[in-house]
Amino acid sequence: MPETAAFDSGRPDSAGFDSAAVTLGDLTFDVRVAGPADGPPIVLLHGFPQTSRCWNAVAAELARDGMRVLLPDQRGYSPGARPREVADYRIDALRADVLGILDAFGVDDAHIVGHDWGASVAWHVAAHHRERVRSLTALSIPHLAAFGRALREDDDQKARSTYFALFREDGTAERVLLAEDARRLRAMFGDTVATDAIDEYIRVLREPGALTAALNWYRAMSRDTEDLPPVKVPTTYIWSTDDAAVGRFAAELCGNFVDSDYVFEVLDGVSHWIPEEASGAVAAAIGARVRRCR
């Protein structure tokens, strides 16, 4: 059973959020919290190679709108939650982390939001634990059955996803990504993410075992990740036309795997880094989804 979330009695962080620690078994997760305690609960799940910081602007806006926002640094990114084995990063463990965090905060069900790998986890939580999910908002990554079909059938998506092969090479990927002051990691963000944010992400990934842990998400991928039933919770999917990682084929297929109220939003001219580049649009979409569920 998870421990109750233990709050840091110190000052709020630089974004004005409170800090908490959640212990699940032998792992301890850093979770930041914003907004009123009685507001609708929202969990924001980050992807690779970011931390919960990518949600700062979105979370601040949601909190101002009266919502209770939980921002965990996920498995491998929280210093106290970095198991060593690839198998520790299978999707069932990642989704169990989310449920454990909800339990620690005494939340029966929440609006689940995810970007990139965080979206993959969010899709799994929604598909397998419908009773814990009031709504789903997924950014960039569509339902994983749609994404898997695109990887098999769409040449454009196959080309976009060739980086998977490098990320799965133990040792080689770490060396390549951190070489030359992490030049390749920095280049992934283009000019759409603030330099100080990129510096913070790379600082975290330089901690002992952190980059290997983050890459283990890719190394633990299996057909279990893709063989996902349709979700049956109200869902918003947000895709951006300049996303280098996800093409239109997969994005437009997503709705075939949602058996509930579904909204597909397209952000023209926005890159993969939607939470930071289009925080206002994202917060508005989440807010609209929450209100549709009341």
Residues 197-248 have pLDDT tens digits of 999 999 999 999 999 999 999 999 986 666 799 999 999 999 999 999 999 9
Three-point CA angle 62, 96, 271, nearest 5°: 45
CA nearest to 81, candidates 6, 25, 16: 25
User: What confidence category does residue 138 fall into, taking pLDDT thresholds of 50, 70 and 90?
Assistant: very high
Inform me whether the pLDDT recorded for 2 exceeds 70: no
- Single-letter residue type at 205: L
What is residue 4's predicted lDDT score, i.e. its pLDDT? 80
User: What confidence category does residue 6 fall into, taking pLDDT thresholds of 50, 70 and 90?
Assistant: confident
Inform me whether the pLDDT recorded for 260 exceeds 70: yes
- How far is it, in rounded angstroms, from Cα 219 to Cα 117? 13
Q: What is the mean pLDDT of the chain?
A: 95
Q: pLDDT tens digits for 88-130?
A: 999 999 999 999 999 999 999 999 999 999 999 999 999 999 9
The crossing angle, in degrees rounded to 10, of helices 56-64 and 279-292 is 40
User: What confidence category does residue 265 fall into, taking pLDDT thresholds of 50, 70 and 90?
Assistant: very high
User: What confidence category does residue 263 fall into, taking pLDDT thresholds of 50, 70 and 90?
Assistant: very high
What is residue 48's predicted lDDT score, i.e. its pLDDT? 98
Mean per-residue pLDDT, 153-166: 96
Inform me whether the pLDDT recorded for 1 exceeds 90: no
What CA–CA distances, in Å, run from 33 to 15, 30, 163, 267?
A: 10, 10, 33, 28
What is residue 10's predicted lDDT score, i.e. its pLDDT? 67
* Contacts with 10 (C-beta within 8 Å, 6 or more apart), sequence order: 19
How is domain 6-292 classified at the architecture level of CATH? 3-Layer(aba) Sandwich (3.40)
- How far is it, in rounded angstroms, from Cα 79 to Cα 149? 35
Inform me whether the pLDDT recorded for 8 exceeds 80: no
User: What confidence category does residue 43 fall into, taking pLDDT thresholds of 50, 70 and 90?
Assistant: very high
What is residue 224's predicted lDDT score, i.e. its pLDDT? 63
Inform me whether the pLDDT recorded for 290 exceeds 70: yes
User: Which residues pair with residue 34 across a beta bridge?
Assistant: 69
Residues that are catalytic: 116, 218, 272
Mean per-residue pLDDT, 54-80: 98
